[in-house]
Amino acid sequence: MLEIRNLKKIFQPGTPHAQTGLAGVSLSLRPGEFLTIVGSNGAGKSTLFNAIAGRFLVDGGDIRLGGEDITYQREHVRARNIGRLFQDPKTGTAPGLTIEENLALVYSKATNRFPLRLALRASDRQYFRAELSRLDMGLEDRLQVKAGLLSGGQRQALTLLIATLVPPRLLLLDEHTAALDPVAAAKVMALTAQICDRNNMTTLMVTHNISSALKTGTRTIMMDQGRIVMDLSGAERENMTSQDLLRRYREMTRRELDNDRILFSGEEE
């Protein structure tokens, strides 16, 4: 489904401020695979996501999605097949539009009809209510409420639904629960697992929570200085604790993990 080969990116090359973002990253995901990514700040996690999404052109390597070479495809073209959620719940919805209008905008991709309220059919609203009811947040009865009035958890859950209403080939989750309180974060994570499983969706998720990374999905990689330094799956991943992973990181890199957030979130619950 997703094939990345020898991906390279250097920011500000040829200057004293040159910085390696990706140093030959290779990665392969099967259809429906859910991969979690951990690493300290500057490890290359978001850079990898930006490369896949087309935020910039890479300096070397190639990216294939569903067999199609998208390495030099424009970002807005890739967005037709790639869904993405960010840390800030505000980035995935239009705050001045209602819940119904936000859903209608993305739904128009599949129906090729004018997306806003006047073009909606009763069957469309019934479909929206049914999908919103799966979130179990009472949003199915608030179709005319503006997205900007929702809580952070409600808005991120709506963003998740928007990103998957027309199931993308690939879903990128960039610390999408980090800005939420623990209760809302747990709710959104549970919804994420349900939606990805129901749609057999190929997914990559960046997280600073090592314990969550090892428990979520089917596979975990750790990045460091623009490289993949660990790739865990199967029994090896199932039997690994957060402390085991941190210890292996020290053995492989001869360094301590230098990020307080990931160290703190690595504590076993």
The rounded Cα 10 to chain-centroid distance in angstroms is 23
Check pLDDT > 90 for residue 255. Answer: no
Do 55 and 186 belong together in one domain?
yes
Average pLDDT over residues 164-180: 93
SS3 of residue 132 by DSSP = helix
pTM attached to this predicted model: 0.90
Query: Could you tell me where the DSSP H helices lie in the chain?
Result: 45-53, 75-78, 99-111, 122-133, 152-164, 182-198, 210-215, 234-238, 242-253, 260-265
Q: Are residues 157 and 37 in the same domain?
A: yes
Q: Which residue has the tokens 């209510």?
A: 129
Q: At what angle do helices 152-164 and 182-198 cross, to 10 degrees?
A: 10
pLDDT in tens, 146-157: 999 999 999 999
Are residues 188 and 89 located together in one domain of the fold? yes
Q: Are residues 248 and 156 in the same domain?
A: yes
Residue type, 2: L
What does the pLDDT read at residue 268? 43
**What's the token pair of residue 245?**
């992973």
Residues 140 and 219 in one domain: no
**Hey, what are 215's tokens?**
């428990």
Q: How confident is the model at residue 114 (pLDDT cuts 50, 70, 90)?
A: low
pLDDT, position 109: 67
> Which has more confidence, 261 or 105?
105
Q: How many domains does the chain have?
A: 2
Confidence of residue 262 (pLDDT cuts 50, 70, 90): low
Query: Range of 124's domain?
Result: 97-145
Give the whole-number percent of the chain exceeding pLDDT 70.
91
Between CA 227 and CA 70 the distance in angstroms is: 21
Same domain, 220 and 186: yes
Structure tokens at 133: 């009811």
Q: Which amino acid is at 134?
A: R
Residues 67 and 138 in one domain: no
CATH classification of the domain holding 252: 3.40.50.300
Q: Are residues 44 and 106 in the same domain?
A: no
Taking each continuous run of H as one helix and of E as one strand, the counts in the chain are 10, 10
Q: Name the least confident of 27-31, 82-86, 99-103, 260-264.
A: 260-264
Tell me how far apart the alpha carbons of residues 23 and 11 are, in angstroms, rounded to a whole number. 12
Measured in Å, how far apart are the chain's first and last C-alpha atoms?
34
How far is residue 140's CA from residue 53's CA, in Å, rounded to a whole number? 31
3-state secondary structure of 162: helix
Strand 219-224 vs strand 34-38: parallel, antiparallel, or unpaired? parallel
Backbone angles phi, psi at 181, to 5 degrees: -70, 160
Q: Same domain for 103 and 186?
A: no
Neighbour count for residue 181 (Cβ, 10 Å): 12
233 shares a domain with 107? no
Does the pLDDT at position 266 exceed 50?
A: no
* 214 in Cβ contact with 237 (< 8 Å): yes
